[in-house]
Structure 1
């Protein structure tokens, strides 16, 4: 018996199953996309068979049932002995009327703009750059305008993600009583709306691309007269004279060079007593499971960005005229990295 054969005899079979199971792990998000795309959860006001669900959603009954059976092994839906499926607490989050509907996020995370570059991660690692342009012909943010449905899905999903995080961010940071908050590339303005609602003495400016601003969330009675939108490019100029500048989930999808350009644009607009809040995940200094570890791989798969450590943030900020003041954890996966002009 060779050493390799002897070692094989001592391998824990559960480890073999784990590795082989993980190598087929992509089938779970594929099945999750089926449930989200066809809004299966919306049709489960009571337990229903795959045939009943297929009739309501216009898909093949046998194949739908097999996808739902896989999801049921992970607690998304539950299958009874009669072959009927019912909602679980996890599946309820896929309903369009859920308090925090995750359907748009699932559809984005399993869309081809995320899926296909992730499948080329080996090329990304070999080349030292994202394979996104190899797949779609353009970088991510140049590709989006060529695919309007995906662009809207991206905006909707990011707005929902912001809903999950913005209360925790605002609660963690002590905003000034008065002044102007500039939300740079702030999407539809969910974070800015939460900041202004919690701090009635503040005014706000939302900067983003014109198509995104058309669907902003700021026009609510409590904020009347306290906000404006401005279409623009964060790489070239941001609104001047703000007291607090927000960069939420902006730097993490950008290379150090791109991030430096954004920071330089902000620094040019800021007075010396203003503050810049970089709201991103911060990679822990010790190894282990953390949401930033997963997100970091996504950043290199789709973009040439990265999640950064405290030390990496400090170096990046210092290069563009900022000092890292403090890092404030929040109840979400994000932290508030406060930067002070120098």
Structure 2
């Protein structure tokens, strides 16, 4: 591949996410579970114009998502199966999120973020992404489902990367639906948990913990981690801090440090060198959308020290996440 072909590939890659997002939203993959179908059959089932649907499917098949067979019918591929709604590890919600206008439009103003250090999202919409999601529950549900899809397979290795048995009560700060806390509790039947979240998130967490048979071991507490956190023997905080700028991260960590208990930071940590890594582009998403940042191990350790915490040895959990244990100085 020439340098020109490589750059052209990067540039034209922008066409792929909206195609996959639309096919995911229409539920095309779900319709192909039993057998391949013609475009006319698919169009009738998903409510699309046949010629327009064909154009999207042909484009998706050209990159290995769906397969156009010699008789003109379309079939699932291993890649396309991840757009089904009913499979473990489904990325359907993630594909749909990348097609949502609030996660697309701010990139047209990325230069604003680079010049000012401020999220382009706020420039475009006049409010933060968190305010937007609070006002648009359908988008918030898609976002939450996408986050669960992105992070779901990391929960087990994260829970197994640290010895939680020394703690009677583990507080999961900003713990979302409770999937990580559930895995931690499964590592030791003697541990109890506290899920600390915004009040609108707790019903989803309550439902998940009930399904997992763990509701009687978890206390659900609503609150704001910029102000205070409930008592516990250790504080686990995953994929929350990267949403915020440095000064806000220090503010949150100071609240946790005041408890005197260990603080366990789980985040993507950008490695040195020029190699590819998820965090290097997730960091751009933080810049453009959320106003936060993905950071290196050294940068996370510096922020912990600024908050009055003593960072310990970083523990890699999987290819994306690492755990940074911190003690009160």
TM-score tier, shorter chain, comes to: over 0.9
Question: 2:268·2:322 contact (CA, 8 Å) conserved in 1?
Answer: yes
In structure 2, the residue matched to 1:340 is: 327
What secondary structure sits across from 1:245 in the alignment? Answer: strand
Question: 2:167·2:234 contact (CA, 8 Å) conserved in 1?
Answer: no
Give runs of aligned pairs for residues 1-342 of structure 1, distance below 5 A. Answer: 14-44=2-32, 45-216=34-205, 217-220=208-211, 222-240=213-231, 242-268=232-258, 270-271=259-260, 274-342=261-329
In 1, distance between residues paired with 2:47 and 2:149?
A: 27
- Tell me how far 1:118 sits from its aligned partner: 2.2
Question: 1:197·1:222 contact (CA, 8 Å) conserved in 2?
Answer: no
Question: 2:182·2:212 contact (CA, 8 Å) conserved in 1?
Answer: no
Q: Structure 1 residues 83 and 221, CA, compared in 2 at 3 Å: closer, same or farther?
A: closer
What secondary structure sits across from 1:326 in the alignment? Answer: coil
In 2, distance between residues paired with 1:312 and 1:165?
A: 22
In 2, distance between residues paired with 1:224 and 1:135?
A: 41
Provide the TM-score with structure 1 as the length reference. 0.91
Q: Which runs of 5+ in 2 are unaligned?
A: none
In 2, distance between residues paired with 1:155 and 1:292?
A: 19
Question: 1:168·1:332 contact (CA, 8 Å) conserved in 2?
Answer: no
Provide the TM-score with structure 2 as the length reference. 0.95
In 2, distance between residues paired with 1:194 and 1:142?
A: 30
Q: Which shows bigger deviation, 310-319 or 175-184?
A: 175-184
Question: 2:22·2:96 contact (CA, 8 Å) conserved in 1?
Answer: no
Deviations 1:47-80, CA, capped at 9 Å, x for gaps:
1122211111011111111111111122111111
Question: 2:18·2:98 contact (CA, 8 Å) conserved in 1?
Answer: no
After TM superposition, which residue ranges in structure 1, 4 or more long, deviate above 6 angstroms? none
CA RMSD in angstroms comes to 1.5
What secondary structure sits across from 2:312 in the alignment? Answer: strand
Question: 1:155·1:212 contact (CA, 8 Å) conserved in 2?
Answer: no
What secondary structure sits across from 1:26 in the alignment? Answer: helix
Question: 2:270·2:296 contact (CA, 8 Å) conserved in 1?
Answer: yes
What secondary structure sits across from 1:218 in the alignment? Answer: helix
What secondary structure sits across from 1:313 in the alignment? Answer: helix
Deviations 1:156-211, CA, capped at 9 Å, x for gaps:
22233332210111122221244111010111111111111222110000011111
In 2, distance between residues paired with 1:221 and 1:111?
A: 31
What secondary structure sits across from 1:96 in the alignment? Answer: coil
What secondary structure sits across from 1:215 in the alignment? Answer: helix
Count how many residue pairs are aligned between Structure 1 and Structure 2: 326
In 2, distance between residues paired with 1:106 and 1:277?
A: 30
In 1, distance between residues paired with 2:167 and 2:255?
A: 24
Question: 1:33·1:107 contact (CA, 8 Å) conserved in 2?
Answer: yes
Question: 1:249·1:280 contact (CA, 8 Å) conserved in 2?
Answer: yes
Q: Structure 1 residues 213 and 224, CA, compared in 2 at 3 Å: closer, same or farther?
A: closer
- Tell me how far 1:221 sits from its aligned partner: 6.3
- Tell me how far 1:128 sits from its aligned partner: 2.0
In 2, distance between residues paired with 1:99 and 1:321?
A: 41
Deviations 1:192-251, CA, capped at 9 Å, x for gaps:
1111122211000001111111111212464242111011111111112x1221110011
**Which has the higher Rg, Structure 1 or Structure 2?**
1
